[in-house]
């Protein structure tokens, strides 16, 4: 059974701190790994990772994939209260010719001022 596990499930830090969110997976037919941010509405796309060791960066957020050890991390530096959200990790797999996402439980991040 395909499985994606995120840790920690919940994290509370102060504004300005740096955080690292973890995502490990065990799947067959891996195609890509995606990170989403979800506030009180639809998840919004952050990154798609397909190759090991290549960092993707967007402002204060960055992410990297390790396909040998089967995990990814999402880093947020100089956190702001607007970073408070649930961060979702999903692995795209190919099953019987169709692609689908397998999601982790999510990490609820709270940034206190």
Partner 1 sequence: DVKVTQSSRYLVKRTGEKVFLECVQDMDHENMFWYRQDPGLGLRLIYFSYDVKMKEKGDIPEGYSVSREKKERFSLILESASTNQTSMYLCASSLPRYLYGEQYFGPGTRLTVT
Omega of the bond prior to 8 within 30 degrees of 0, cis?
A: yes
Alpha helices in 1-113 (DSSP H): none
Of 11, 13, 48, 61, which one interacts with partner 1 (CB under 8 A)?
48
Angle at alpha carbon of residue 105, lines to 104 and 108, rounded to 5°: 120
Between residues 71 and 103, which has the closer beta carbon with respect to partner 1? 103
Q: Does 11 bind partner 1 (CB under 8 A)?
A: no
Site for partner 1 in 62-101 (CB under 8 A): 88, 90, 94, 96-101
Residue 89's SS3 state is: strand
What is the C-alpha to C-alpha distance for residues 7 and 80, in angstroms, rounded to an integer?
Answer: 20
CB of 105 to partner 1, least distance (A): 4
Q: Does 42 bind partner 1 (CB under 8 A)?
A: yes
Q: Does 23 bind partner 1 (CB under 8 A)?
A: no
What is the C-alpha to C-alpha distance for residues 65 and 50, in angstroms, rounded to an integer?
Answer: 8
Interface segment toward partner 1; rule CB under 8 A; list 14-22, 35-43, 53-61, 68-76: 35-43
What is the C-alpha to C-alpha distance for residues 69 and 18, in angstroms, rounded to an integer?
Answer: 23
Point out which residues bind partner 1 (CB under 8 A): 4, 9, 31-32, 34, 36, 41-45, 48, 50, 88, 90, 94, 96-106
């Amino acid at each position: 059974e395909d499985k994606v596990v995120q840790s920690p499930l919940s994290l509370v830090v102060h504004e300005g701190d740096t955080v690292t969110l973890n995502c490990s997976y065990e799947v067959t037919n891996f195609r890509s790994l995606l990170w989403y941010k979800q506030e009180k509405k639809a998840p919004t796309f952050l990154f798609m990772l397909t190759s090991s060791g290549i960092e993707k960066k967007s402002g204060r957020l960055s992410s990297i994939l390790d396909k040998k050890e089967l995990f990814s991390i999402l880093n947020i530096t100089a956190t702001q209260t607007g970073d408070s959200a649930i961060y979702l990790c999903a692995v795209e797999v190919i099953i019987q010719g169709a692609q689908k996402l397998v999601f982790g439980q999510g990490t609820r991040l709270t940034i206190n001022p």
